Structure 1
Amino acid sequence: MAKIIRIHEHGEPSVLRVETADIAEPGPGEVKIRQEAIGVNFFDTMLRYGRVNGPLPMVLGSEGSGAVEAVGADTAEFRVGDRVAYFASMGAYASERLIDARSLIALPQDISNEQAAAFLAKGLTAWMGLRALHDIAPGEVVLVSGASGNVGSILSRWAKALGATVIGVAGSKGKLEKVRAGADQALYAQDPEALAKVWAIAPDGVDVVFDFVGNATAELSAAAVRSGGKIVAIGAASGQSQPDAAEVARRGIKVASGGVQDHVNSATVGEASSQLFQAIRDGLFHDLDVTRYAFTDAARAHEDIAARKLSGLPVLIV
Structure 2
Amino acid sequence: MPVTTREWQLAARPHGEPTPEDFRLVELEHPDPAEGQIVVRMLAMSVDPYMRGRMNAGKSYAAAWEVGETMKGGAVGRVVDSRSPAVPEGALVLADAAWRDVAVLDARHVRVLPELPGIPPSYHLGVLGMPGLTAYVGLFRLAAFQEGDAVFVSGAAGAVGSLVGQFAKLNGASAVVGSAGTPEKVRWLTEELGFTAAFDYHDGPVAQQLRTAAPGGIDVFFDNVGGEHLEAAIGAFNEFGRAALCGAISGYNAVEPQPGPRNMFMLVTKKLSLRGFIVSDHADLHGEFIERVPQLVTSGRLVVRETVREGLDQAVPAFLDLLRGGNTGKMIVRLAEA
Which residue in the other structure is 2:26 paired with? 19
CA deviations on 1:116-147 (whole Å, 9 max, x unpaired) are 23442322221221233234333221111221
Of 128-137 and 171-180, the range deviating more from structure 2: 171-180
Matched with 2:209 is 194
1:166: which partner in 2?
176
**Runs of 5+ consecutive residues of structure 2 not aligned to the other structure:** 252-257
Superposition pairs for residues 1-318 of structure 1, below 5 Å? 1-11=4-14, 12-24=19-31, 25=33, 31-48=38-55, 53-70=64-81, 76=86, 78-86=87-95, 89=96, 91-97=97-103, 98=105, 101=108, 103-110=110-117, 111-119=119-127, 120-164=129-173, 165-171=175-181, 175-181=185-191, 182=193, 183-189=195-201, 190=205, 193-200=208-215, 202=216, 205-239=217-251, 241-242=260-261, 246-263=265-282, 265=283, 267-286=284-303, 288-311=305-328, 313-318=330-335
Change (3 A) 1:187 1:199: same
Structure 1 window deviating more from structure 2 (113-122 vs 191-200): it is: 191-200
Contact 2:45–2:76 (Cα < 8 Å) also in 1:
yes
Whole-Å separation in 1 of the counterparts to 2:292 and 2:53: 29
Moved more, 158-167 or 269-278: 269-278
Give aligned-pair identity as a percent. 22
Per-residue deviation, 1:112? 2.0
Residues 13 and 82 from structure 1, CA distance in 2 versus in 1: closer, same or farther, beyond 3 angstroms? same
- Inter-partner Cα distance in structure 2 for 1:195 and 1:5: 41
In 2: Cα distance, 1:100 partner to 1:133 partner: 33
Which segment is superposed worse, 95-104 or 254-263? 95-104
Q: TM-score, structure 2 length as denominator?
A: 0.78
Quickly say closer, same or farther: Cα 1:102–1:132, change in 2 above 3 A: farther
- Calculate the TM-score normalised by the size of structure 1: 0.82
Counterpart secondary structure, 1:42: coil
Task: Report the alpha carbon displacement of residue 156 of structure 1 after superposing the two structures with TM.
Answer: 1.4
The residue type equivalent to 2:179 in the other structure is V
Relative distance call for 1:246 and 1:224 in structure 2 (3 A) is: closer
Give the distance between the partners of 1:233 and 1:261, measured in 2 at CA.
14
Gapped regions of structure 1 (runs ≥ 5): none
Q: How far 1:311 sits from its partner (Å)? A: 4.5
* Aligned counterparts of 1:72 and 1:225: Cα–Cα separation in 2: 55
Aligned residues: 307
